Amino acid sequence: MRMRKKLVAGNWKMHGSLAENAVLLAALKPALVGVNAVVCVPFPYLAQAQTILNGSSIAWGAQNLSEHNKGAFTGEVSASMLLDFGCSYVIVGHSERRSLYGESDGLVAAKYVAAQAAGLTPILCVGESLDERESGVTEAVVARQLDAVIKLAGVDSFAGAIVAYEPVWAIGTGKTASPEQAQAVHAFIRGKIAALDPDLAGQLIIQYGGSVKAANAAELMAQPDIDGGLIGGASLVADEFVAICQAAAK
Ligand code: 13P
């Protein structure tokens, strides 16, 4: 029996405007009543998400945070600031942060710790590049990314956290990992945590991300170790995001 309730999160990335968001959120709110869903919006729109989504079934969160609590860190945003705007979730270690902004495994782990210390649920992204997959080191890369967090925060820190497996080659490319490819890595992630704490591994929500859309969501969500999705492009289209959430809720 599955003990885990699937969760779908939208990662809007650097998209949206006050006007566009109002239209999108107004469409999502009634369509997702009773469904487990999250939208991770750009920082300036957190207040808008809070105002519109407060009291709805849709939670909201951010796409990044500082590893520091406060101080002279121009341009950074702390976990407590996210809490001020009612965030429940924050994405950490998205591949775009790792590859475009040089976030190391160690920095991602520090951000994960900062999020949890404040009471936010981190969505920890892991995943391999195309080169890494083709060189046969997918599991080694994912293990290294998880180990950085385990080393800093211990396996216990995965209680209540979320891991998102996002193969970099599938993000925004239209190339989805096949359900079997995704399932294999999800099973590897769960097995790695299970080697340290089987009960915790059984509860861990592991989302899949990378070109998920309404058309392929059902077969991905049917895999035994896929517990929801982290959705980029399709989270900006109300009908698509709703259909993905509904596929996950089945
Ligand atoms: P796409 O769904 O646009 O491929 O993006 C996936 C992603 O990076 C979500 O965090």
In this prediction, residue 1 carries a pLDDT of: 42
Regarding the beta carbon of 209 and ligand 1, being less than 6 Å apart is answered yes
Q: Is 27 a domain residue?
A: no
pTM across the whole model: 0.97
Ligand 1 atom closest to residue 174's alpha carbon, by position in its atom list: 4
Q: CATH number for the domain including 225?
A: 3.20.20.70
SS3 per-residue string spanning the chain: CCCCCCEEEEECCCCCCHHHHHHHHHHHHHHCCCCCEEEECCHHHHHHHHHHHCCCCEEEEECCCCCCCCCCCCCCCCHHHHHHCCCCEEEECCHHHHHHCCCCHHHHHHHHHHHHHHCCEEEEEECCCHHHHHCCCHHHHHHHHHHHHHHHHCHHHHCCCEEEECCHHHCCCCCCCCHHHHHHHHHHHHHHHHCCCHHHHHHCEEEECCCCCHHHHHHHHCCCCCCEEEECHHHHCHHHHHHHHHHHHC
Q: Which residues constitute the domain of residue 123?
A: 7-17+36-49+57-249
The single residue of 94, 96, 132, 240 carrying the catalytic annotation is 94
Q: Is 120 a domain residue?
A: yes
Active-site annotation holds for 186: no
Q: Give the total number of structural domains in the chain.
A: 1
Report the separation in Å between the CA atom of 72 and the middle of ligand 1, taken as the mean of its atom positions: 32
Q: Is 23 a domain residue?
A: no
Read off the amino acid at residue 97: R
In this prediction, residue 172 carries a pLDDT of: 87
What the block records as the tokens of 109 is 């782990």
Q: Is 1 a domain residue?
A: no
Report the separation in Å between the CA atom of 94 and the middle of ligand 1, taken as the mean of its atom positions: 10
Q: Is 118 a domain residue?
A: yes
Half-sphere exposure in the Cβ direction for 56 (13 Å, CA): 22
Regarding the beta carbon of 210 and ligand 1, being less than 6 Å apart is answered yes
Residue stretches of the chain with pLDDT short of 70? 1-2
Active-site annotation holds for 94: yes
Report the separation in Å between the CA atom of 208 and the middle of ligand 1, taken as the mean of its atom positions: 9
Q: Is 80 a domain residue?
A: yes
Report the separation in Å between the CA atom of 214 and the middle of ligand 1, taken as the mean of its atom positions: 13
Q: Is 26 a domain residue?
A: no
Of 13, 92, 173, which is best to mutate to test ligand 1, by the most ligand atoms within 8 angstroms of its C-beta?
Answer: 13
Tell me how far apart the alpha carbons of residues 240 and 146 are, in angstroms, rounded to a whole number: 30
- Note the pLDDT tens digit of each residue in 136-192: 999 999 999 999 999 999 999 999 999 999 999 999 888 888 999 999 999 999 999
